[in-house]
Amino acid sequence: MSTMTTTSSPRKLNRIGLDIAIYKGGKTTLCAGCGHNAISERIIDAFFEMGVDPRRVIKLSGIGCSSKTPAYFLGSSFSFNGVHGRMPALATGALLANRQMIAIGVSGDGDTASIGIGHFVHLMRRNLPMIYIIEDNGCYGLTKGQFSATADIGSTLKNGVVNDLPPIDTCALAIELGATFVGRSFSGDKKQLLALLKAAISHRGTVMLDVISPCVTFNDHDGSTKSYSYVKDHDEPLSDVSFIPHFEDMTIDYEPGTSREIQLHDGSKLVLSKLSEQYDPTDKLAALQVLHEAQKRGELVTGLIYYEPGRKDFLELINLVDEPLATLPLDMVRPPREALDEIMESLK
Amino acid sequence: MSGIETDVQVTPSLRAGGTVINDFSIEVATVNGSGSQTANTVLLRTIFQMGVPVSGKNLFPSNISGLPTWFTIRVSKHGYIGRKKDADVLVAMNPETAPEDVDKMRAGTLVVYDEPLNLRSRRSDLIFYPVPFDKLVAPVCSKPKLRPLVRNMIYVGVLAYLLNLDMAQAKVALNKQLGKKAAVLDMNAAALQVGYDFASEHFTKQDRYLVAPMNENQGKIIIDGNAAAALGCMFAGVTVVAWYPITPSSSLCESLIMYMKKYRMDKRTGKATFAIIQAEDELASLGIVLGAGWAGARAMTSTSGPGISLMSEFAGLGYYAEVPGVIFDIQRVGPSTGLPTRTMQGDLLQTAYLSHGDTKHILLFPGSVEECYTMAIEAFDLAEEFQTPVFVMSDLDLGMNNWMSDPFPYPEQPPKRGKVLTEQDLQRIGRFERYRDVDGDGIPYRTIPGSSMPAYFCRGSGHNERALYSERPDDYKRNMDRIARKFETARHRVPAPELVRDGADDVGIIAFGSSHFPTIESVDQLRTEADINASYLRIRAFPFSSEVESFVRRHDRIYVVDQNRDGQMRDLLRLELAPELAPKLRSVRHYDGLPIDARTITDQILAQEGITS
Ligand SMILES: Cc1ncc(C[n+]2csc(CCOP(=O)(O)OP(=O)(O)O)c2C)c(N)n1
Ligand code: SF4
């Protein structure tokens, strides 16, 4: 059979010769239209386009809809879906054990900014070389819509309860604490998110990406949410997709330096303003200022907000050998008999 | 200050019973932070170097300086190294506690005290040796600021004279303690001598207690359990350590840092072959351990009760997702913050079943400093063989006090990494499924990130044999039953109990951990005092091996020695052994925060046996 006669177009391979299919994961069980799904797709694209070997990647997450997503990308990578809010610890341990791995962690705003905030701040502080993504929907998706600590002041729950606490700005926090790559994006901004993720893969140090990712189910106050009353009231209620209403994915694309208003499914509005191309992300004070000013205007700035090149990451800082600790040969991890003799002698 | 009281008046009856050689205990009462630790260690080492078995226990407050602290030294020609309930020699240096310290002594006790405290007037049945410490320290130490630290060495000199200690050995001990600091060494050596000279000039020996050289300590070492455990971890080949400071466990990781920096740097590159991280809390500590264990490293943490409480959620994850890790629990007094610097075996039940759902963990109970070392090595092997968290249940008494021991053996075996899937395995078993019971022992094969072996998705939520998310009832049950089978396999693999004494069939004693040495002594007391020929079985691990059950079956009455209020080991045995054995189990309990002693065990057993002494 001649290859010339084939009608199907040649499959797209990346620079290490892998098919994009290898970068995909299982079928999503999240609500159709959930922003988290769009983020998974961008992660697939980014790792494919950067030509990263999936066997070098470890995926980590906490608990929440967002934290389920590692099942939906890079299906041939090792993954650890841990406990609520404490993925940073798992990631730290895993990278200490094998510093040659590329770690991508996915968390939610509840996972990060409430139960896991203590772990989050220490992760940022350590500048552990990993990509940490917050899929930020301002609410707890998996437990059906309660406020998270990133919810805006004045926003309401479906039942009308008003949030009267100010939000935690995870980007400002990350910058303040020492993350060396901090960005914010929107799940529907394919171009920007992909660019940020690709840059993230190249960075050595903590990458913190806060990705606004609307929850189509709990931001939707009338209509199909009623169907959720049929769903059993348990901790992981969303595995049965048949109850999930279908929504269109939201997508936007707009120019740097401009703002865009996003109409959410529940009718509320989100104003995203893209940092201009002249913006200098290496200026820490300017970065914090931009965040504070945007917050005053009720907007969210997106793009690469802060970048600190050159700082030692945590694994460099603690002076580890280059090889993975997990697989060091015995003679490197067990001191010789004479060492024990010497110690015993000193205790006599 | 009043004049020196040298006219020791002693009633002849106080010396009744003759001289006591190498069989007594010393209690030194000082103020925390006053530098008494050096003096006490010199005292302990001097006796040790004279070949006489000793053990030292530090009873200290949860405070940095100013509160009362007691150091007790057991001197025992029989080699009993558990605590002795009553002191025979008291050094009273702390004005705050001195009256109470003196009041609680038994008649005939030798009391060395700071002369201005005027203690002699309190009792006529003790033998007092007043020493004007301030007066004596002044010429020895020109810097008034240093005097409070140096004056303690004077009582070592005084006791050296009174107890007939070898001054040459005292100097060797002092050198060992302070050899690196010449100026301090000289001052302390002078203080030691001043104490000795003062005592020899002013005191006539009136009490019964003497130390005479023996030859029992040839080759022995002195070490605390935490340092011993740290050595075990290092020789086990630990690579990732995460910890959060808490008394009484901190010194374990602190010792480990010290040893690893010295012995575990890569010679070629000068880089570390290990990572020791001070985590942000205990939740993170265990998280780091599990992350590292999942990624193939030998990882550990150390903590105490409050930390164990916090680790509950991750412990469940480690159990259910089947990730190895080693957790040292250096138990202290709870509940809550409790008595942070006192000892207890109080975490037994919570740790055995730590976390929600059906969770059971492998526990090891070191009974000596040597076992703190050997069980550390064993814990890593077990954690990897069974792919699960393993808890080493030490306590403050074992962990922070000094114990004599034979030197530790070098591990002859390479680390047992368990069922980490190899090419050959894969050919033999056909396909990799992370949670499939291929060999019938409940233990599945695992693969490690970064290797060329197939990846899997590790999670704490329901999963099937292929590690895929599943809420199916049959998947859940199959998985839980397999993990239970794994625990059964562990029953035959964990350290077997030790039949320490094989006695008659009526009375059996079960003890574990730091109760071991007092229990041996108690068994001897029962024999000599009441003609009870008790057997003694020392439990060394949970799950209990079948020998535990057969021991209970063989005896009419079993006394379970627990250092907690509720008899937690007794309860654990009741839960785990055949129900018909439960009525045999009786309880001996001690829970005042002090280490258990033989007398307490003996008296409780005698009382329950209906024998009043
Ligand atoms: C210790 C603990 N507390 C509470 C929960 C219940 N829980 C599951 S997910 C979740 C919140 C998830 O919210 P978020 O991280 O924002 O993710 P989302 O579902 O919105 O993507 C909570 C509270 C849990 N699993 N564990
Ligand atoms: S509940 Fe919200 S966050 Fe969760 S999957 Fe549905 S849309 Fe996404």
pLDDT, tens digit (0-9, with 9 covering 90-100), for A270-283 = 788 899 989 999 99
Residue A268's pLDDT is what? 67
Task: Decide if A325 and B449 are in contact by the 8 Å CB cutoff.
Answer: no
Integer Cα distance of B442 and B447 in angstroms: 16
Q: Which value, to the nearest 10 degrees, does the dihedral of the CA atoms of residues A121, A125, A129, A132 take?
A: 20
Task: Decide if B291 and A97 are in contact by the 8 Å CB cutoff.
Answer: yes
- Closest CB to B295 among A94, A330, A333: A94
Q: Tell me: the pLDDT tens digits for B305-324?
A: 999 999 999 999 999 999 99
Strands B535-539 and A181-186: unpaired
Q: Tell me: the pLDDT tens digits for A233-255?
A: 333 333 333 333 344 577 888 88
Residue A10's pLDDT is what? 65
Q: Please return the burial class of A202, using the count of CB atoms within 10 Å of its CB with bins 0-12, 13-18 and 19+.
A: exposed
The residues near B499 (Cβ < 8 Å, ≥ 6 apart) are B535, B536, B537, B547, B551
Residue A145's pLDDT is what? 86
Is the Cα dihedral B480, B485, B486, B488 positive or negative? positive
Integer Cα distance of A317 and B272 in angstroms: 11
pLDDT at B10 over 50: no
Distance from CA of B377 to the nearest CA of A (A): 11
Q: What is the DSSP string of B433-477?
A: -TT--SSSSS---B--TTSSSPP-EEESS-B-TTS-B---HHHHH
**Which residue has better confidence, B596 or A251?**
B596
pLDDT at A155 over 70: yes
**Which residue has better confidence, B373 or A237?**
B373
Residue A8's pLDDT is what? 59
SS3 for B483-504 is HHHHHHHHHCCCCCCEEEECCC
Which chain A residue has the Cα nearest residue B276? A318
- Closest CB to A78 among B277, B292, B456: B456
- Is the bond into B335 cis (omega within 30 degrees of 0)? yes
pLDDT at B13 over 50: no
Integer Cα distance of A299 and A199 in angstroms: 24
Q: Is the CB of A302 under 6 A from ligand 2?
A: no
Distance of CA B340 to the CA centre of its chain: 15
Q: Tell me: the pLDDT tens digits for B513-564?
A: 999 999 999 999 999 999 999 999 999 999 999 999 999 999 999 999 999 9
Residue A236's pLDDT is what? 37
Confidence class of residue A219 from pLDDT cuts 50, 70 and 90?
A: low
Q: Helix (H, G, I), strand (E, B), or coil: what is residue A259? A: strand
CA distances from B386 to A301, B328, B441, B487 (A): 49, 17, 10, 8
Integer Cα distance of B35 and B26 in angstroms: 18
Residue A9's pLDDT is what? 62
Q: Tell me: the pLDDT tens digits for A284-337?
A: 999 999 999 999 988 889 999 999 988 999 999 999 999 999 999 999 999 999
**Cα angle at B450 between B445 and B455, to 5 degrees?**
45
Ligand nearest to the CA of A37: 2
Q: What is the DSSP string of A269-325?
A: EEEEEEPPTT--TT-HHHHHHHHHHHHHHTEEEEEEEEE-TTPPPHHHHTTB-SS-G
Q: Tell me: the pLDDT tens digits for B29-61?
A: 998 888 899 999 999 999 999 999 999 999 888
Task: Decide if B283 and A88 are in contact by the 8 Å CB cutoff.
Answer: no
Taking the centre of ligand 2 as the mean of its atom positions, its distance from the CA of residue A39, in whole angstroms, is 13
**Which of A218, A246, A247, A266 is the best mutation target for the ligand 2 pocket, counting ligand atoms within 8 Å of the beta carbon and taking the most?**
A218
Confidence class of residue B16 from pLDDT cuts 50, 70 and 90?
A: low
Task: Decide if A71 and B457 are in contact by the 8 Å CB cutoff.
Answer: yes
Integer Cα distance of A330 and B1 in angstroms: 65
Closest atom of ligand 1 relative to the A85 alpha carbon: 15
pLDDT at B410 over 80: yes
Integer Cα distance of A242 and A240 in angstroms: 6
Ligand nearest to the CA of A216: 2
**Which residue has better confidence, A159 or B582?**
B582
Confidence class of residue B613 from pLDDT cuts 50, 70 and 90?
A: low
Residues of A in contact with B469 (CB under 8 A): 71, 239
**Which of A69, A111, A134, A137 is the best mutation target for the ligand 1 pocket, counting ligand atoms within 8 Å of the beta carbon and taking the most?**
A111
Ligand nearest to the CA of B460: 1
Distance of CA B497 to the CA centre of its chain: 18
Listed residue (B161, B458, B118) closest to B293, CA to CA: B458
Q: Tell me: the pLDDT tens digits for B208-267?
A: 999 999 999 999 999 999 999 999 999 999 999 999 999 999 999 999 999 999 999 999
Average pLDDT value for chain B: 95
Query: Contact A215/A32 with Cβ under 8 angstroms?
Result: no
Q: Which value, to the nearest 10 degrees, does the dihedral of the CA atoms of residues B55, B60, B66, B67 take?
A: -120
Task: Decide if B294 and A80 are in contact by the 8 Å CB cutoff.
Answer: yes
Residues of A in contact with B277 (CB under 8 A): 92, 96, 318
Rounded to the nearest 5°, which phi and psi values hold at B299? Answer: -130, 150
Distance from CA of A84 to the nearest CA of B (A): 9
- Closest CB to B457 among A55, A79, A340: A79
ipTM summary value: 0.94
pLDDT at B8 over 90: no
Task: Decide if B449 and A100 are in contact by the 8 Å CB cutoff.
Answer: no
pLDDT at A226 over 70: no
Distance of CA B35 to the CA centre of its chain: 23
Residue B91's pLDDT is what? 97
Integer Cα distance of B86 and B107 in angstroms: 11
- Mean pLDDT along residues A165-178: 96
pLDDT at A5 over 70: no
The residues near A254 (Cβ < 8 Å, ≥ 6 apart) are A189, A260, A272, A274
Task: Decide if A89 and B283 are in contact by the 8 Å CB cutoff.
Answer: yes
Query: Contact A62/A91 with Cβ under 8 angstroms?
Result: no
Taking the centre of ligand 1 as the mean of its atom positions, its distance from the CA of residue B355, in whole angstroms, is 18
Residue B173's pLDDT is what? 96
Mutation choice for B interface testing from A81, A120, A124, A232 by most B CBs within 10 A: A81
- pTM recorded for the entire structure: 0.94
Confidence class of residue B328 from pLDDT cuts 50, 70 and 90?
A: very high
Q: Which value, to the nearest 10 degrees, does the dihedral of the CA atoms of residues B283, A112, A203, B451 take?
A: 50
Question: What is the residue whose two structure tokens read 């007094």?
Answer: B333
Residue A220's pLDDT is what? 58
CA distances from B323 to B177, B286, B314, B337 (A): 43, 11, 10, 29
Task: Decide if A325 and B275 are in contact by the 8 Å CB cutoff.
Answer: yes
Q: Helix (H, G, I), strand (E, B), or coil: what is residue A222? A: coil
Alpha helices in B164-249 (DSSP H): 167-178, 182-202, 225-236
Amino acid at A276: S
pLDDT at A146 over 60: yes
Count other Cβ atoms within 10 Å, centred on residue B114: 21
pLDDT at B504 over 70: yes
- Mean pLDDT along residues B181-188: 92
pLDDT at A42 over 90: yes
Q: Is the CB of A142 under 6 A from ligand 1?
A: yes
